Amino acid sequence: MDRESEQLDRDLELWQDVDIKHPRLNARVWARVANEDREPAALPNFFRLAQSILSRPVYAAVFVVSCVLGGLLLAELRVAQQQVERGEQLAESYKQVIDPLIKDTYLFK
């Protein structure tokens, strides 16, 4: 182990002997220490921030709802774009049926 880990271990051992007035504080501190051991410490700052925000149920629900609405919006935009393309194809084929030589004239555009 490195020097910092050894110092932390000594400090934590001293913490076990401290008399605490709050009934659940000691349990909370040790639960956090145990949780830190299980979580990977190598997460970049952005991911730690996102994890801390999305761990709250309200923000997680807002994130899910915004993703669903964003997906629906993108799907609607894509369908609208496909309809415009289909309309242009129909107009072009209608022009070709009416006068196949119209493509070479100035009226085409």
Per-residue pLDDT of the chain (109 residues), as tens digits, is: 577 778 877 877 776 766 667 777 767 777 877 776 665 555 678 887 888 888 899 999 999 999 999 999 999 999 999 999 999 999 888 888 887 666 655 555 5
Rounded CA separation 38/5 (Å): 16
The predicted structure's pLDDT at residue 1: 53
Rounded CA separation 24/51 (Å): 25
Rounded CA separation 41/49 (Å): 13
The predicted structure's pLDDT at residue 41: 56
Query: What is the CA 41 to chain-centroid distance, rounded?
Result: 20
DSSP per residue over 78-108, as a string?
HHHHHHHHHHHHHHHHHHHHH-GGGGGSGGG
